[in-house]
Amino acid sequence: MWATNLRIIGIVLGTLALYTLIANKIPQVQSEVPHALTLGANVTPEQLVAAGDQLYHGAGGCTACHGLGTRAPNLLTDEKGLGPIGARCGKREAGKDCKAYLYESLTSPRAYVVSGYEPIMPEMGRILSPQQIWALVAFLESQSGTVDVTASDIPAASGPAASAAPAASGGGGPGIAGGSTEPMTIIRGAGCTGCHKVGTEGGAIGPNLTHVGSRLSAALIRECILKPDTRVAKGYEKFVGVMPKMFGNQLTGAQLEALVQFLSSQK
């Protein structure tokens, strides 16, 4: 056990050293996430709602779970007689108005879990920028409610660079978890353990990754992270589309490779 652990640590450290050296040469892999959502100080509620609408139906990945009628509550249509999300968001938690509840639903979904559902919603603040989160809040409010998100809710964006920066909580630098290349820090920071078991930690929505290296090559693991839908894990056909698609944009090149090497060494 210890010998294996030491070997893994050795491999990881070696790989990290290598990739730290060439990190700057690895280009960021592009995925379909709209990068530059630049919402300036003059943004109107209509612009926010339109941006949120696009995210909701597109790269935000919300429709993988919402709107199917079973996996997650309906948001755009009635849910159990309470109306669309804009009509019920102010009544979910005592003392939380609609805006505060929606922001919490997106950034800490486990704080209030709608009864009758599993806590499988990813923490969107790790995946989307603050601008994108607020655009989604505005869009959800517009579903039979009142849009009261204003430019002052949105942290100042100083150009495309700022708007492209991930909203990793506690982050800071580029990449997830402040750009750390320590594999378990990336795995926790990216929210992988929200769905996957890795060793003794994590959930059971996706395949257990503890021995993933014995069934998938490094190349396949990389592909699963960058394009989750191209190769569906056996037995998980019903969960196609649940794994977020924007890790390619959020991880730095060095983080992606550290993650791939770590997972492929989990035999």
**Contact between 254 and ligand HEC per CB under 6 A:** no
Q: Are residues 65 and 242 in contact, defined by beta-carbon separation less than 8 angstroms?
A: yes
Site for ligand HEC in 66-85 (CB under 6 A): 66, 72-73, 75, 79, 85
**Contact between 100 and ligand HEC per CB under 6 A:** no
* CA–CA distance, 227 with 219 (Å, rounded to integer): 12
What string marks each residue from 159 to 188 as x (binds ligand HEC by CB under 6 A) or -? ------------------------------
What string marks each residue from 41 to 70 as x (binds ligand HEC by CB under 6 A) or -? ---------------x---xxx-xxx----
Q: Are residues 31 and 246 in contact, defined by beta-carbon separation less than 8 angstroms?
A: yes
Using alpha carbons, select from 64, 104, 67 the residue that is nearest to residue 84. Answer: 67
* Distance of closest approach, residue 36 Cβ to ligand HEC, in angstroms: 18
Cα distances (Å, whole numbers) of residue 174 to 22, 69, 181, 234: 16, 37, 12, 34
**Contact between 201 and ligand HEC per CB under 6 A:** no
* Distance of closest approach, residue 126 Cβ to ligand HEC, in angstroms: 9
* CA–CA distance, 193 with 202 (Å, rounded to integer): 4
Select 12 or 120, whichever has its Cβ closest to ligand HEC.
Answer: 120
* CA–CA distance, 133 with 107 (Å, rounded to integer): 8
* CA–CA distance, 230 with 196 (Å, rounded to integer): 18
**Contact between 243 and ligand HEC per CB under 6 A:** yes
Count of residues touching ligand HEC (by CB under 6 A): 54
Give the CA angle between residues 161, 178, 133 to the nearest 5°: 60
**Contact between 105 and ligand HEC per CB under 6 A:** yes
Q: Are residues 20 and 149 in contact, defined by beta-carbon separation less than 8 angstroms?
A: no
**Residue span binding ligand HEC (CB under 6 A) among the ranges 21-29, 146-154, 167-175, 223-231:** 223-231
Go through 113-122 and write b for each residue having 16 or more CB atoms within 10 A of its CB, e for each that does not: eeeeeeebbb
Residues near ligand HEC (CB under 6 A) are: 56, 60-62, 64-66, 72-73, 75, 79, 85, 92, 102, 105-106, 109, 113-114, 117-122, 124, 136, 140, 190-192, 194-196, 205-207, 212, 216, 221, 224-225, 228-229, 232-233, 236, 239-240, 242-244, 247, 259
